[in-house]
């Protein structure tokens, strides 16, 4: 068992599950979307991205790319949330659909990462 692989797989899968937890629920009710969950998803995604820095294999490059996509989408979602609530002080929750759909996009990127991870694991056969 390779501890480095464990850590990496852990973060990739955790990034996806956290993101999924945030994403599920209707577009109109903020109660279904916990801000703590979004925060956790961002942190875990950041760590997963940094873990992939410097991997020069082709698969490593694709991992880095999908992680970057996810993290950028999540960061944009968080910025929109923060700005709307604290800077523009928007009344009501019109911004919620944008945040949720952005995290949905990030979720797709996370799924790609996990699929790649599974494919890599299966091809090793050890």
Partner 1 sequence: MPRSILYILLRRLRSPLIALVTVYAIFIIGFVLIPGKGSGGGMTFFDAFYFVSYTGTTIGFGELSKGGVGFSPGQRAWTLVAIYATVITWLYGIGSLLTVLQDPAFKRILKHSKFSRKVKELREPFYIICGYGDTGRQLVNALSEENIRSVVIDVDEDKINELEVEDLLLPSLGLAADASRSEVLLDAGIKREWCKGVIALATNESTNLSVAITVQLLNPKARFIARADSVEMQNNILSFGANEVINPFETFADSLSLLIHSPSLYTLFEWLSGVPGDTLAEPFFIKKGHWILSGYGRFGQAVYNHLSEIGVQVRVIEPDIEKRDVPSSSVLGYATEAATLKKAGIEQAVGIIAGTNNDPDNLSTLMTATEINPNIFTIARQTQQQNAEIFKAANLDLVLQRGGAVAHKIFALIRTPLLGDFLRIAIRFKEHKANILVSRIIGIAQDETPKLWEFVIDKETTPALYNKVSIQSVVIADLLRSPRDRSRTLNALPLFLNRGKGNVMLPEDDRQLEVGDRILMCGSEDADCLMQWTTKNMNVLSYLMTGKTESSSHVAKWFNKTFGKSA
Residue numbers of the site for partner 1 (CB under 8 A)? 35-36, 39, 43, 46-47, 50-51, 53-54, 56, 78, 82, 85-86
The DSSP code for 32 is G
Minimum CB distance to partner 1, residue 15 (Å): 13
Minimum CB distance to partner 1, residue 122 (Å): 27
Encoding tokens for residue 54? Answer: 């410097």
For 54, counting Cβ atoms within 10 Å of its Cβ (0-12 exposed, 13-18 middle, 19+ buried), the class is exposed
Nearer to partner 1, 82 or 97 (CB): 82
Cβ neighbours for 117, distance < 8 A, ≥ 6 positions apart: 9, 12, 13, 63
Minimum CB distance to partner 1, residue 42 (Å): 8
Q: Are 73 and 106 in contact (CB under 8 A)?
A: yes
Nearer to partner 1, 1 or 36 (CB): 36
Nearer to partner 1, 10 or 39 (CB): 39
What is d(CA 8, CA 121) in angstroms, rounded to the nearest whole number?
12
Minimum CB distance to partner 1, residue 125 (Å): 28
């Amino acid at each position: 068992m390779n501890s480095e692989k464990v850590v990496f797989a852990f973060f990739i899968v955790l990034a996806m599950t956290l993101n999924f937890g945030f994403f599920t629920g209707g577009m109109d009710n903020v109660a279904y979307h916990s801000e703590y969950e979004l925060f956790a998803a961002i942190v875990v995604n950041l760590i997963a991205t940094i873990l992939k820095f410097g991997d020069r294999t082709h698969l490593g490059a694709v991992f880095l790319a999908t992680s970057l996509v996810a993290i950028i989408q999540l960061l944009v979602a968080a910025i929109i949330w923060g700005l709307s609530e604290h800077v523009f002080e928007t009344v009501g929750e019109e911004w919620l659909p944008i945040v949720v759909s952005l995290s949905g996009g990030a979720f797709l990127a996370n799924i790609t990462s996990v699929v790649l991870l599974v494919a890599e694991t299966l091809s090793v056969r050890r």
